[in-house]
Structure 1
Amino acid sequence: MTASFVQVMIFLATGIGIIILLTAVFRIHAFFALLIACFVVGSGVQMPVENIINVTKQGFGHIMQSLGFIIVLGTTLGVVLEHTGSTKVMAAYILKRIGEKRAPLAMSITGFIVGLPIFCDSGYIVLSGLNKSLCKRTGISAIIMSVSLATGLYSVHCLIPPHPGAAAAAGTIGVDFGKLILIGIAVAVPAMLVGYWWARYAGKKIKDDETAEAPVMDPGTPSPSVLSSFLPVVVPIVLIGIKSFLTIEPGKSMPAWMKLFLVIGDPVIALTIGVVLAFVSVRSWKKNVIGKLLQDAAEKAGGILVIIGAGGAFGSILAAAQIGEHVSMAFNLQALGILFPFMLTAVLKTAQGSSTVAIITAASIIQPLLPSLGLNSEMGKLLAVLSMGAGSMTLSHASDAYFWVIAKFSGLGMRSMLQVYTIATLLMGLVTLLVVYILSLIYI
């Protein structure tokens, strides 16, 4: 394989262009777009067809090995919490503690907590009925309440595993899940707050659109208690966090308690514990309900896994094409440092709409460039993932499916959404980048 720098760059740009064109314009599933891009880039840099096939299989398999169980279990936890009504219990508890006068902040915090295990679009749909009832009870503008909830969910969706974008980027870059979750939560707080602030500031200037009726959610089973609603979310995070900060000195015997936490703190085991806690939060279950929930979770996770696997395959093709070596020899990437992952992901996000596809694609490109960017340390890799997460927030508009979920379930018009929600996502991305940049000055 003797491809020149210009040839490699042309086909890299072509591959990214194909992903954006197929997913954003022709609405083709991201799995097929990424798979086609693998063959276009591989063929363009003169890789033999058999090599392209082998490298693609290896990349797909590596990502499945790293993330398969985590994505399935994380999706299952979210599905069970939705069905049991735990999300609404958490929301009602937070509202009671904060007060109706601060209802937008309560919805933002609710979105933040509920969004830890649940995808932002699912979380918004589940909580939209509560959001609408609060608008009527408090008299607060629907645009303020809706964007506060939406940005709270969005802040964690883009930054923290087990959400597929952050999880895939962590697997590709090689970042510890526990540390990414804990530091990611801290970084997501300023993003949530700026989203809430902009909703309050800009929403006051906009007259409410005519709102549609909130969807009626099936109560399914009796609501669990407050404690049992929060435990499935909090316990896995605590267990994974403890394991991440345990240090084992070579040659020394390991205490029994440390062995225990190393086992139960594994993300797969911790999420399994969360799923079990979510199931036991309801005293009785109908025979056919559990099987249906698990089937729904597996099917939902399958759609995510094929995208993540194709993203891993695309990354392997880029690694085999020696993208990193070519780019590092041509440019002084170290001058850009933590800014480059953000810029690349933001361009991909804005162009094709999906935060997950944007961060998966960007991680494949960034991984071989880490030494050139000066981000090859453990902390550098973690901050690179968070920088890409910030880019995947920037910005959400009409090409983003979540944009339309918010508009549809809140009854908000395009103009209101662009003026308040879209600008909020831009500010969230920039504030998150600023926080990550400050951390890079301290730790790198």
Structure 2
Amino acid sequence: MRSASRRLLATASLMSLVAVTGACSSDSGPDASPSPTKPTGCDGKKAPTFKGTKQAFESVASVGEGKAVGIQAAAPQLTKASSGAEGWSVATISIHARVLTNGIFAVTPDSVMLIDEKGRQCTRPRTNAVKSPLPVGEIDEAESASGKVSFLVPDDAQLSKYTVMYADDPASPAADAEWSRQGVAPSANAATSCAPGRTSPMKLGEIEREDWGESEVVGSEGAQMRITVEKPTVKPLNPSSKHPNDVDGLAVKVKIEALGSAAFVDRNMFQMVDGEGSLCRYAPLGTEGETLTTDLIQSGQSQTYTLIFWAPKGAADQVKKLQVIHRADTSTTTGDAGWHDPKEKAPYPTGRPKPKPSPSSSASPSTSGSAAPSSSAPASTPTPLSTP
């Protein structure tokens, strides 16, 4: 969802949610018709079903299509606000909603539900009784939403036994997340891969890799490029529609010199692989701060570019044994040059490399200073995915 199409879709969703808000059951709560007897529990409808794992309060639950939105729900708290009905008090839940990846999403307090120990929903007051309520609105990569949602509970309610549910679609019979005091906080294991589970298909055809900062000549005679790749550095990324909100950057400086005819360069010629064999993601059309999409370098000229690959936010410095692979043909997974830190001993993409021919060798060294790519590589293999 981007530009106008993103806005139209989000607006349509928002209008639907506003319609649901108008039809919610808060007007039928206790303040509309006070119960003549002391309430023993909430008087709303039955709670929706939930098949996942209950989370601890304050932990982030990923909800929505593609798990693109993160919702935090605090434990319910009693307030001193007047409920307007005898036997009933006002409890609030603090909510924070933010976009984890990309897009524009509608947010409404009707997605939040307080459930008593008998599995009944608590109704909301007819009028807002607390400050800083959660608004009906939109969130995107740069804008999050925070606020409180109020509910009517019996004066003697044991809120420690209550749970909080969230349904992306308030009319759905199933919830997307649930929090309780007995819930489990998601694991906070440190990320050590730039893209866990995203196995790299890249190969190097038994070419010996260069150290960071060293140059390698690639291409055929008369149409060669001298490429120098510097060591990656961590680059914090600000919210943007060009990358997910849950990543930071690994920035790489690349200098390219055209040695024969003019040289065409493309962002997709460069791939990054981590020490766990994962292919690092990037934006084909450029992350904020990236300077290469496509370019034509005139013969005898050079250009320096910044490439940005993605790593889990806050853990980019934990991703080790990185290597950058260059491939002249973006439709193949076999590269013709690679760079790494030999001290880190990053796993070689296709087995042990062959040493470069010595000056006394009878074999003629290739113009790139390395062996030709393996002919067994499938030339028609699609370009590795580079988007989220």
Q: Quickly name the TM-score band, shorter chain normalised.
A: under 0.3
Q: Could you state the TM-score of these two structures normalised by the residue count of structure 2?
A: 0.25
Bigger fraction of residues in helix: 1
Q: Could you state the TM-score of these two structures normalised by the residue count of structure 1?
A: 0.22
Question: Which one scores higher on RCO, CA 8 angstroms, separation ≥ 6?
Answer: 1
